[in-house]
Amino acid sequence: MDRRNFLVAGLAAGAGISVGASGVSAQKKSNSAKFKLRYGPGFSSFRGHVGNDIIDNIKFAADQGFRAMFDNGLGGKPAELQEKIAKEIAKNDMKLGPFVVYPNFKDSDLMTKKEDGIKSFLERVKGGLETVKRTNCEGMLVVPGKVDQRLEVEYQTANLIDVLRRMCEIVEKDKVVIVLEPLNRHNHPGQFLYGMPQTYMICKAVNHPCCKIVDDLYHQQITEGNLIPNIDRAWDTIGAFHLGDNPGRKEPGTGEINFKNVFGHIYKKGFDGVLCCEHGRSIGGKEGEAAFIEAYRWADSFEA
């Protein structure tokens, strides 16, 4: 057995997946042990094993012990499919992570009081609210847009806070959480939200339980690092996590983040929300899917 096949066999064995003459294949109930935390693969994470059907991917993820799923594009899927997804998620006692309702990377409307842009944003929130009700997912995600270089950042901050308060008024009756995502400036130059401290300050100023943060550990490792202390400092405003190792934005264990320690800390704090696996894979095909599962088995092996 050569080194690559040895690696694949080892990963597959650890993930509870059988390796035959044709490569890695899924058993019907390949791993009944549930993960301690609710890591959420995407809807196509296991297409090498079960194809592109979303429901089959959810079933396979549940068989592997995953207790959540996520899909940034959930809001764009047909209502009938959303209902099928919700039914399968509930059947397997899983949760759905937040989907992206406002992925704005190009303008500064929310920060500069452009009413047309603000109106469009709030309409998106109203539309997204229907998806939340239909799917019972954890909430929605907002990237507010770019910094305006012609206006002081303090004014922009105040303007965004006002808009977010209007956003909360739309969803508060249904107690829907909307998470703000700070991005790193290396991959996303010019974005207004760039780190946990700034986003925490804004959430505190909005002062509403419906406005929280998605702590993207990949982005935050690049922007400020110090992951565990920053989790503690912003804890009351964290509504979800995004995952990805750095550098490379691949599965845990491929970069510099000690995910076993970080996950253990999150677990001990009592977090029961979704940690969305928003990253690529270091290995392609079925082998990569086996490596993905084994990476989370390793990271989830912290002492409870």
Could you tell me the pLDDT band of residue 5, with boundaries at 50, 70 and 90?
very low
pLDDT digits (tens, 9 = 90+) for 130-163: 999 999 999 999 999 999 999 999 999 999 999 9
**Beta bridge mates, 99:** 140
By the 8 A CB rule, do 128 and 171 touch? no
- For 245-281, how does the pLDDT look when each residue is reduced to its tens digit (9 = 90+)? 999 999 999 999 999 999 999 999 999 999 999 999 9
The domain limits of the chain are: 33-299
Between CA 275 and CA 258 the distance in angstroms is 15
Structure tokens given for 47: 């297409």
The CATH fold assigned to 33-299 is: TIM Barrel (3.20.20)
The whole-number pLDDT of residue 2 equals 35
Angle at the Cα of 274 (from 181 to 130), degrees rounded to 5? 75
pTM of the model: 0.91
| 110-129 confidence digits (pLDDT tens) | 999 999 999 999 999 999 99
Q: Token pair 């993207």 is at which residue?
A: 216
* Beta strands, E only, the chain: 18-20, 23-25, 38-40, 68-69, 95-96, 99-103, 140-143, 178-180, 211-216, 238-242, 274-276
Instruction: Please identify which residue in the block is written with the tokens 């991959």.
Output: 187
